[in-house]
Chain A
Amino acid sequence: MIGYHLLRRTIGFAFILLGLSVVIFTVARVVPGDPARMALGPLATNEQVAQLQEEMGFSKPAVVQYFDYIGGVLRGNLGKSLLTSRAVADDIAQALPATLELVLFTLFLIAVLAVPLGVLAARRHNSWIDNASRLVSLLGVVTPGFVFAILLQLLVSHFHFFPLTGRLSTDIRFTPDITHLALVDSLLKGRFDAFADALSHIFLPALALSAAGIGQIMRITRSSMLDVARRDHVETLRSFGVPDYVITLKYMLRLAAVAPLTILGLEFASLIGNAFIVEMVFAWPGIASYGLRAILSKDINAVMAVVLTSGLFFVVANLIVDLLVGLIDPRLRARG
Chain B
Amino acid sequence: MSVETETLSPAEELSNFGRARRRLLSNPAAIIGIVIVVSIVLAAILAPYIAPYPNHAGSFVDFRHRHNAPSLEHLLGTDNVGRDILSRILFGYRVSLLLVVGVLGVAVPAGVLFGLLAGYFGGIVETGIMWLTNVMLAVPPLVMALAITAVLTPDLIHSMIAITVLWWTWHCRLVYRVVKSVVAEDFVEAARVAGASHLHILFREILPNCAAAISVKTTLDAGFVILFGASLSFLGLGVQPPTPDLGTMVAAGAQFLPEMWWEAVMPGFAVLYAILGFNLLGDGLRDMLDVEI
Chain A residues proximal to chain B, CB less than 8 Å:
15-17, 19-20, 23-24, 27-28, 31, 33, 35, 38, 138, 141-147, 150-151, 153-154, 157-158, 269-274, 276-277, 280-281, 291-292, 294-296, 298, 300, 303-304, 306-307, 310-311, 314-315
Q: Given known contacts A19-B135, A154-B261, A269-B140, is B234 in contact with A146 (CB within 8 Å)? A: yes
Contact with A along B250-261 (1 / 0, CB 8 A): 110010011001
Rounded to whole angstroms, the CA-CA distance of A154 and B254 in the bound complex is 10
| Interface size classification for chain B | 35 or more
17 A–B contact pairs at CB < 8 A? Answer: A19-B134, A20-B138, A27-B147, A142-B275, A142-B276, A144-B271, A147-B250, A150-B265, A158-B258, A269-B139, A269-B140, A276-B235, A294-B150, A298-B151, A310-B139, A310-B140, A314-B138
- A contact patch SS: helix
- Residues of A within 8 Å of B276, CB to CB, are 138, 142
Rounded to whole angstroms, the CA-CA distance of A218 and B213 in the bound complex is 24
Rounded to whole angstroms, the CA-CA distance of A291 and B261 in the bound complex is 28
Contact with A along B129-167 (1 / 0, CB 8 A): 001101111111111101111111000000000000000
Q: Does B85 contact A (CB under 8 A)?
A: no
- Residues of A within 8 Å of B143, CB to CB, are 272-273, 276, 291, 306-307, 310
Segment with Cβ contacts to A, from B63-71, B200-208, B223-231: B223-231
- Residues of B within 8 Å of A292, CB to CB, are 146, 235
Residues of B211-228 contacting chain A, CB below 8 A: 223, 227
- Residues of A within 8 Å of B152, CB to CB, are 31, 33
Rounded to whole angstroms, the CA-CA distance of A141 and B282 in the bound complex is 13
Q: Does B102 contact A (CB under 8 A)?
A: no
Q: Given known contacts A19-B135, A269-B140, A298-B151, is B227 in contact with A144 (CB within 8 Å)? A: yes
Interchain CB contact under 8 A, A16 and B138: yes
Interchain CB contact under 8 A, B264 and A150: yes
Q: B33 to chain A: closest CB distance in Å?
A: 11
Rounded to whole angstroms, the CA-CA distance of A31 and B137 in the bound complex is 21
Closest 7 CB pairs of A and B: A273-B140, A273-B142, A19-B135, A147-B268, A295-B150, A157-B258, A142-B275
- B contact patch SS: helix
- Residues of A within 8 Å of B251, CB to CB, are 146
Interchain CB contact under 8 A, A16 and B134: yes
Q: Given known contacts A143-B272, A154-B261, is B132 in contact with A19 (CB within 8 Å)? A: yes
Q: Given known contacts A27-B147, A138-B279, A142-B276, is B138 in contact with A311 (CB within 8 Å)? A: yes
Q: Does B236 contact A (CB under 8 A)?
A: yes
Rounded to whole angstroms, the CA-CA distance of A35 and B146 in the bound complex is 16
Most chain B beta-carbon neighbours within 10 Å: one of A17, A158, A296: A296
Q: Does B34 contact A (CB under 8 A)?
A: no
- Residues of A within 8 Å of B151, CB to CB, are 27-28, 31, 33, 35, 38, 298, 300, 303
Interchain CB contact under 8 A, A277 and B235: yes
- Residues of B within 8 Å of A143, CB to CB, are 272, 275
Rounded to whole angstroms, the CA-CA distance of A24 and B276 in the bound complex is 33
Q: Does B60 contact A (CB under 8 A)?
A: no
Contact of A20 among B135, B223, B261, B279 (CB under 8 A): B135
Contact of A146 among B141, B237, B258, B268 (CB under 8 A): B268
Most chain A beta-carbon neighbours within 10 Å: one of B135, B250, B271, B276: B135
Q: Given known contacts A27-B151, A144-B227, A146-B234, is B265 in contact with A154 (CB within 8 Å)? A: yes
Q: A66 to chain B: closest CB distance in Å?
A: 15
Residues of B95-139 contacting chain A, CB below 8 A: 131-132, 134-139
- Residues of B within 8 Å of A144, CB to CB, are 227, 230-231, 268, 271-272, 275
Interchain CB contact under 8 A, A142 and B223: yes
Rounded to whole angstroms, the CA-CA distance of A304 and B235 in the bound complex is 18
